[in-house]
Amino acid sequence: MGNKKKKSRIDEEHGLMQKIVALCKRRGFIFQSSEIYGGLKSAYDYGPLGVELKRNVMNEWWRSMVHEREDVVGLDASIMMSSEVWKASGHLSGFSDPLVDCKICKARFRADKAPKVEVGTEVTFRQQGKTVKQKAERDYVCPECGSPVLSEERAFNLMFKTSIGPVESDDSVVYLRPETAQAMFVNFLNVQQTYRLRLPFGIAQQGKSFRNEITVEHFIFRSCEFEQMEMEFFCEPDQGEKWLEYWKNERFNWYVELGCKKENLRARPHEPDELAHYAAGCYDIEYQYPWGWDELEGVANRTDYDLAKHQEASGKKLTYFDPLKTNPQTGKQGLHYLPYVIEPAAGATRSVLMFLLDAYDEEPPSESRKEGRVVLRLHPRLAPIKVAVLPLVKKDAGLTEKARQIVKQFWKNSINAFYDEKDAIGRRYARQDEAGTPFCLTVDGQTKEDDTVTIRYRDDMRQERIDVATAVQTVVDKIRE
Ligand code: GAP
């Protein structure tokens, strides 16, 4: 065996996650919030590369969910909504996690996330330097010290509370939304009637959501402020099952089309005891993170639960009128009813983490290359910078001027191009590989003679000569491929 220790899964997890966190900081993707004051745990800031990546993820979602469909429209609702919304939706009474304190080490944790044990088994833990044994009264123990000596479970509401106006009172209380979904339900008829929509149709929304998470974990995987991309698809009740399958497949394929490795994705149907009480079916689209399979997106059949709750609480009719259906009670033409809702609910910031993990690659040195490299194999559509334009030497004003002209051509065509003249060309390529830039154009002496440049491909480092006149079109075609 020797004394080489086999790496545990935890080491591996820490390895890849640490590399991603370090890369994000080093290259300006993601910073800890308020870092100079010691950092605010559970909130993150997106730097120059991160903001581009996040926007690209969200724009790709919007393109596939709204722009490229006849049956889905967009909405951008306010983050603060009337408290009545959250009362009716059940969030005020039920949107909580079971919170427990460890009486030994004082750790505070979520009961449903704690390590499992069998009730009645004897567990061993340390207390004031001594080893103690005690029977477990519940099916979990403290995640920090392993003790079964725990407080009662308390329901901890996840919503952030604040107030509107100068005087704090019960009437002024508002909550930051914990999901974007409810605005789609309360605006259902506004959107349907003003846009003259017929079932089935969807309303899509992206934006910030806030949850006072007890356990924030795995970098941006679970944070208190995050972004969601949700769509509520309203359909006839007996079509719910069909549309649930349809949207599960659509959403799964979206990740694959954007380069996520298929073997790292799965759509897991919820077990009956996992289902939310209002849901008639649900899939979790899961990704194989360094710590194991975990949720990326949920696709649920929410039935008519939300519309029914808001109709009841507001006293306003939220039914859809179908003039072509016959009312079974009266036999008359025309039927009012509440549609069912299929909801694909994705995390934008969680998707950013997933795409970074999936794209990260390290290549060792080889015969042809002395140094290894880190490369982010992001899909060109997601890449923060699409193309870097690099004059081979910065001392030649002719080359730098030409390179700047080329960059401007890309900007005119709405392509995010980046000009870089600092350091040797190899180091500049390495910087772009790490940033995930799929194409580099190098302007050199030959450019002055025949108006051609070298295009270098990130993934296989292949290089070829192309005409400057066709450079923009070449890159546009490759991004669209
Ligand atoms: N409207 C349904 C809903 O919000 P959810 O499963 O609670 O369902 C949907 O959230 C998605 O939002 C999750 O699959 C995840 O990607 C993302 N998400 C939820 N909580 C999050 C958090 N604390 N931090 C980051 N992303 C989160």
Write down the pTM of the prediction: 0.92
Choose the residue to mutate in 89, 210, 223, 228 for probing ligand 1, maximizing ligand atoms within 8 Å of C-beta: 228
CATH topology (fold) of 385-480: Rossmann fold (3.40.50)
List, by residue range, all CATH 3.30.930.10 domains of the chain. 2-82+163-183+199-311+337-356
Of 295, 289, 271, 290, whose CA–CA distance to 281 is shortest? 271
Query: What are the helix (H) ranges across 305-347?
Result: 305-314
Q: Residue 315 in 3-state DSSP? A: coil
Residue with token string 């089935």: 200
CATH topology (fold) of 2-82+163-183+199-311+337-356: BirA Bifunctional Protein; domain 2 (3.30.930)
Span from the CA of 216 to the centroid of ligand 1 (angstroms): 13
* Long-range contacts, 263-266 (Cβ 8 Å, 24+): 263/288, 264/288, 264/358, 265/296, 266/293
Choose the residue to mutate in 179, 216, 219, 341 for probing ligand 1, maximizing ligand atoms within 8 Å of C-beta: 179
**Cα gap 324→189, rounded to integer Å:** 18
List, by residue range, all CATH 3.40.50.800 domains of the chain. 385-480
Q: How many CB atoms lie within 10 A of CB 22?
A: 10
Between CA 279 and CA 309, with CA 327 as vertex, the angle to 5 degrees is 30
Task: Output the DSSP codes for 200-234.
Answer: SEEEEEEEEEE---S--BTTTTB-SEEEEEEEEEE
Residue 67 is classified by DSSP as: I
**Cα gap 383→60, rounded to integer Å:** 12
Between the CA of residue 345 and those of 112, 201, 236, 449, what are the distances in Å?
A: 22, 16, 20, 54
Q: What does the pLDDT profile of the chain (481 residues) look like in tens digits?
A: 333 444 444 445 569 999 999 999 999 999 999 999 999 988 999 999 999 999 999 999 999 999 999 999 999 999 999 999 999 999 999 888 899 999 999 888 999 989 999 999 999 999 988 999 999 999 999 999 999 999 999 888 999 999 998 888 888 999 999 999 999 999 999 999 999 999 999 999 999 999 999 888 899 999 999 999 999 999 999 999 999 999 999 999 999 999 999 999 999 999 988 898 889 999 999 999 999 999 999 999 999 999 999 999 999 999 999 999 999 999 999 999 999 999 999 999 999 999 999 999 999 998 878 889 999 999 999 999 999 999 999 999 899 999 999 999 999 999 999 999 999 999 999 999 999 999 999 999 999 999 999 999 999 999 999 999 999 999 999 998 8
Atom of ligand 1 nearest to the CA of 297: 14
Span from the CA of 156 to the centroid of ligand 1 (angstroms): 17
User: What are the pocket residues of ligand 1 if the criterion is a CB atom closer than 6 Å to any ligand atom?
Assistant: 179, 181, 211, 213, 222-223, 226, 228, 230, 295-298, 343, 345-347, 349-350
Q: Whose CA is closest to atom 25 on ligand 1?
A: 222
